[in-house]
């Protein structure tokens, strides 16, 4: 709840969970509570803002001493402004007496927006928030109230040709070759990634184990982050030295909400690039020095192909 000298502001949504997909309508109401005798304002504005934030480091040298600096950069790429109230009929300013006031709102989201990434006050991030501004006279501080919302693009993997098998392969200095295929190229959270791997091991070198991991990578302009979504050891591939091995495998994608694979480039006064991608990584541990190797296979993560809700 925002606090001013004589008012409180509350932003309410028509749904319990403020998660919205591109193309949906964000709707709700703004409640203004005037707690003192009166509130005077030039205008009451309502905004939806989308920003991408990242850091950039640079160095300066002074008197032979080098210092590293970190610059925090916010690039707005979405800004919509609605005016709830302004003076009319020759009034110089708005005047509200003690009590409660309400304004409904409906905002149509663009279809193509990058997903919310990270915490809104940490870097890097992609954040969206609704902002109510009580614009007062120049000698008084404005009253503001922000409420963050989560937005995700629709990545419907059923509309794209992702059903073909995804083939991969690599080898190491001891002529061990790992190749194989995934059952398809795109998945939803909660699905099982299935495939078959083939190992050619002509020298019958001991393969200690093969670990498979699902890796998420996202980059906001210059700043990139990578983390492991899930990982497991393939039990059938531990301590094997046969010349040829054919082994089915599977790894379960967590059922929680994941960022969809997405690429976005846009901005209002400056351009920012946001990219989210996933890979399935196979780490092969082999007996000997400098014999380990890995294979990375790009995959696509989508979200549920939900239709737009009917208009209210």
Check residue 138 and give its pLDDT: 65
Sign of CA dihedral 136, 139, 140, 144: positive
Are residues 117 and 255 both part of a single domain? Answer: no
* CATH number assigned to the domain comprising residue 273: 2.60.40.640
- Indicate the length of the chain as a whole number: 312
CA distance 43 to 84: 8
Q: Are residue 162 and residue 148 in the same domain, yes or no?
A: no
Residues 220 and 275 placed together within one structural domain of the fold: yes
Q: Is residue 259 part of a domain?
A: yes
Residue 34 lies in a domain: yes
Evaluate whether residue 132 is within a structural domain.
yes
Q: Which residue, of 104, 132, 152, is where some domain finishes?
A: 152
Residues 136 and 271 in one domain: no
Q: Tell me whether residue 310 is in a domain.
A: no
User: pLDDT tens digits, residue range 266-284?
Assistant: 999 999 999 999 999 999 9
Per the structure, the complete domain to which residue 31 belongs is given by 2-152
- pLDDT at residue 146, as a whole number: 94
Same domain, 39 and 6: yes
One domain, residues 126 and 76 = yes
Do 115 and 178 lie in one domain? The reply is: no
Q: Which residues of the chain have pLDDT under 50?
A: 1-5, 307-312
Strand 65-85 relative to strand 166-171, pairing: unpaired
Indicate whether 144 and 173 sit together in one domain.
no
Q: Is 306 within the bounds of a domain?
A: no
Specify the pLDDT at position 4: 45
- Domain membership of residue 307 (yes or no) is no
Is 72 inside a domain boundary?
A: yes
Q: Give how many domains the chain has, as a whole number.
A: 2
Note whether 14 and 140 are same-domain residues. Answer: yes
Q: Are 51 and 76 in contact (CB under 8 A)?
A: yes
Which of the listed residues 137, 152, 167 is the one where a domain comes to its end?
152
pLDDT for res 173? 82
Residues 197 and 258 in one domain: yes
Q: Is residue 308 part of a domain?
A: no
pTM: 0.86
Q: Are residues 266 and 134 in the same domain?
A: no
Query: pLDDT tens digits for 207-226?
Result: 999 999 999 999 999 899 99
Out of 152, 170, 196, a domain closes at 152
Q: Are residues 114 and 255 in the same domain?
A: no
pLDDT at 259: 95
pLDDT in tens, 81-103: 999 988 887 778 888 889 999 99
């Amino acid at each position: 709840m925002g606090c001013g000298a004589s008012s409180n502001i509350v932003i309410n949504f028509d749904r319990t969970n403020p998660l919205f997909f591109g193309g949906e309508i964000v709707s709700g109401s703004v409640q203004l509570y005037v707690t003192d005798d009166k509130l005077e304002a030039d205008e009451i504005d309502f905004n939806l803002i989308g920003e991408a934030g990242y850091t950039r480091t640079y160095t300066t040298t002074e008197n032979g001493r080098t210092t590293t600096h970190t610059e925090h950069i916010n690039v707005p790429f979405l800004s919509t402004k609605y005016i709830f109230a302004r003076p009319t009929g020759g009034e110089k300013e708005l005047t509200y007496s003690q009590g409660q006031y309400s304004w409904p709102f409906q905002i149509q989201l663009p279809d193509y927006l990058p997903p919310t990434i990270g915490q809104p006050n940490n870097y890097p991030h992609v954040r969206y928030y609704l902002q109510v501004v009580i614009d007062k006279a120049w000698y008084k501080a404005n009253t503001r109230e922000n409420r963050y919302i989560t937005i995700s693009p629709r990545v419907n993997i059923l509309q794209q040709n992702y059903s073909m098998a995804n083939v991969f392969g690599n080898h190491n200095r001891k002529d061990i070759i790992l190749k194989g295929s995934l059952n398809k190229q795109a998945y939803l959270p909660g699905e099982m990634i299935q495939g078959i791997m083939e190992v050619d091991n002509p020298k019958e070198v001991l393969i200690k184990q093969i670990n498979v991991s699902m890796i998420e990578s996202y980059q906001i302009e210059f700043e990139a982050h990578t983390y492991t979504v899930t990982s497991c050891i393939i039990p059938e591939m531990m301590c094997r030295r046969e010349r040829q091995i054919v082994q089915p495998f599977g790894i379960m994608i967590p059922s929680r909400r994941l960022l969809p694979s997405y690429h976005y480039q846009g901005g209002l006064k400056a351009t920012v690039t946001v990219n989210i991608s996933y890979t399935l990584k196979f780490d092969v541990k082999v007996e000997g020095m400098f014999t380990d190797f890995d294979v990375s296979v790009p995959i696509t993560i989508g979200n549920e192909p939900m239709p737009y809700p009917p208009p209210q």
